[in-house]
Amino acid sequence: MFESFHAKHPVHPLVALGCSLFSLMIGMICSATPFLFAYIACLCALFVSYGFVMPVIMLGLGMGVLGIVAGGITALMNGSFDMFWITPARCLLVGIAVVPMLSVPPSQLTRSLNQLRMPRILTLGMLITVRFVPILYNEIFQIREAMRSRGIDTRWWSPAWYAPRNLYRAFLVPLVMRVIGISDTLSLSVETRAFGEGEATVYRPVHMEKRDAVFLALVLVLALLLLIVRFFPF
């Protein structure tokens, strides 16, 4: 589900996590300035230069449209379009700020946290939570395909989809059984791998590189420039 966001050469997971949170925080602090769009544009240029092209395009378009719709509704309710640009800017900021984090495979983030000697119950729980979403999406897709092969109309606007026999017996019951089966397999896998016994090692350590330090420095410089323009206008 999120594999299309992963970059071929992502930045260090901890750098990506820190830059995403820091960019979002600084952008929200300075969201009242018109220079926020320039800040977002600079972030987009930086992320594209590091190979995060598809995440920038997909999240930028999606959150931009959402922001325009939300801003229009807010402006109509308030009866004024004076501050219309703030809502699209904030939505666009959220979408762009999370690009570095979404570009990192969850396994690399888990390895980085394991290298910091984080409790394994936290790192494993985080990895399971992140990976569970695409697995659940795939199970739902397969169940709906099976329903369609039996002649059941699974389009959301079709009345047949909401019939109790189809929605409950043909969809919810198989989905719950699949989730239970996945949970049993996961618990057995954790037990057979002696989870929690002894010190964990990292098979493929994730190391900090020069490009990661440059990426972090550029994000900090952009944030500093935005803060200067916001609080110390010329």
**pLDDT tens digits, residue range 95-114?**
899 888 888 887 788 788 87
* 165 SS3 class: helix
DSSP 12: P
Among candidate residues 53, 98, 97, 67, the one with its CA nearest the CA of residue 222: 97
In the predicted structure, residue 216 carries a pLDDT above the cut 90:
yes
What value does the mean pLDDT take over residues 122-131? Answer: 72
Q: DSSP states of 174-206 as a string?
A: HHHHHHHHHHHHHHHHHHHTTTTSS----SS--
AA letter at 167: L
Tokens 């970059």 belong to which residue?
7
CA distance 158 to 15: 46
Please classify residue 32 by burial: count the beta carbons closer than 10 Å to its beta carbon, then call 0-12 exposed, 13-18 middle and 19+ buried.
Answer: exposed
Q: What φ, ψ does residue 201 adopt, rounded to 5°?
A: -115, 160
Q: What is the pLDDT of residues 148-201, one digit of tens each?
A: 887 777 777 777 767 777 777 778 888 888 888 887 777 777 667 666 656 666
Higher pLDDT among residues 87 and 124, named by residue: 87
**Residue 222: per-residue pLDDT:** 92
CA distance 39 to 54: 19
Average pLDDT, the chain: 81
* 73 SS3 class: helix
Q: Per-residue confidence at 219, pLDDT binned at 50, 70, 90?
A: very high
Domain ranges, ordered by start, for the chain: 3-104+208-231, 119-192
Q: DSSP states of 85-118 as a string?
A: THHHHHHHHHHHHTHHHHTS-HHHHHHHHHHTT-
End-to-end C-alpha distance for the chain, whole angstroms: 46
**Residue 196: per-residue pLDDT:** 60
CA distance 81 to 46: 31
Q: What percent of the chain has pLDDT over 90?
A: 14
What value does the mean pLDDT take over residues 132-136? Answer: 77
